[in-house]
Structure 1
Amino acid sequence: MKKREVEVLVISDIHLGTYGCHAEELISYLQSVKPKKLVLNGDIIDMWQFNKRYWPQSHMQVIKHITGLMAKGTEVYYITGNHDEMLRKFVGFQMGSLKIVNKLVLKLDGKKAWIFHGDVFDVTMKHSKWLAKLGGKGYDLLILINRFVNHISKKFGSGKISFSKRIKNSVKGAVKFINDFEQVAADIAISNRYDYVVCGHIHHPEIKKISNSDGEVTYLNSGDWVENLTSLEYHKGKWRVYHFMEDLPALRALKMEKESKTHSLSNNEIFENLIKEFSIIKIQETR
Structure 2
Amino acid sequence: MNVILNDRLASASYRTVFLSDVHLGTRDCRADLLSEFLGGMTCERLYLVGDIIDGWKLKRSWFWNSHHDDVVNQILRMGRKGTEIVYIPGNHDEILRRWLPHQLEVAGIRLCETAEHVTAAGRKFLVLHGDEFDSVVRYAPFLAMLGDRAYTAALIVNRWFNLVRRRLGLPYRSLSKWLKRQVKGAVMAIDRFETAVADEARRRGMDGVICGHIHHAIIKDLDGVLYMNDGDWVESCTALVEHHDGSMELLDMTDVRRRLPANASRLASLLFPAGV
Q: Normalising to structure 2: TM-score of the pair?
A: 0.86
1:71 aligns with one of 74, 80, 96: 80
Whole-Å Cα distance in 1 between the matches of residues 77 and 169 of structure 2?
Answer: 39
Shift of 1:149: 2.2
Distance 1:34 1:223, change over 3 A: same
Shift of 1:162: 2.7
**Unaligned ranges ≥5, structure 2:** 1-9
Aligned residues: 255
Shift of 1:171: 1.0
1:234 aligns with one of 242, 252, 255: 242
Residue identity matched to 2:115: L
1:150 aligns with one of 162, 167, 182: 162
* Structure possessing the higher relative contact order (Cα contacts under 8 Å, 6 or more residues apart): 2
1:274 alignment partner in structure 2: none
Shift of 1:203: 0.5
Is 1:19–1:140's contact at 8 Å kept on the other side of the alignment?
A: no
Is 1:14–1:21's contact at 8 Å kept on the other side of the alignment?
A: yes
Bigger CA radius of gyration: 1
Is 1:3–1:34's contact at 8 Å kept on the other side of the alignment?
A: no
1:57 alignment partner in structure 2: 66
Whole-Å Cα distance in 1 between the matches of residues 107 and 64 of structure 2?
Answer: 26
Residue identity matched to 1:113: F
Whole-Å Cα distance in 2 between the matches of residues 158 and 78 of structure 1?
Answer: 36
Secondary structure of 2:22's partner? coil
Is 1:3–1:31's contact at 8 Å kept on the other side of the alignment?
A: no
Whole-Å Cα distance in 1 between the matches of residues 52 and 46 of structure 2?
Answer: 13
Whole-Å Cα distance in 2 between the matches of residues 126 and 26 of structure 1?
Answer: 29
1:95 aligns with one of 95, 106, 128: 106
Whole-Å Cα distance in 2 between the matches of residues 253 and 228 of structure 1?
Answer: 24
Whole-Å Cα distance in 2 between the matches of residues 61 and 94 of structure 1?
Answer: 21
Secondary structure of 1:64's partner? helix
1:265 alignment partner in structure 2: none
Deviates most, 26-35 or 245-254: 245-254
Secondary structure of 1:20's partner? coil
Distance 1:107 1:158, change over 3 A: closer
Q: Normalising to structure 1: TM-score of the pair?
A: 0.82
Shift of 1:250: 4.0
Superposed CA RMSD: 2.3
Identity of aligned residues (%): 35
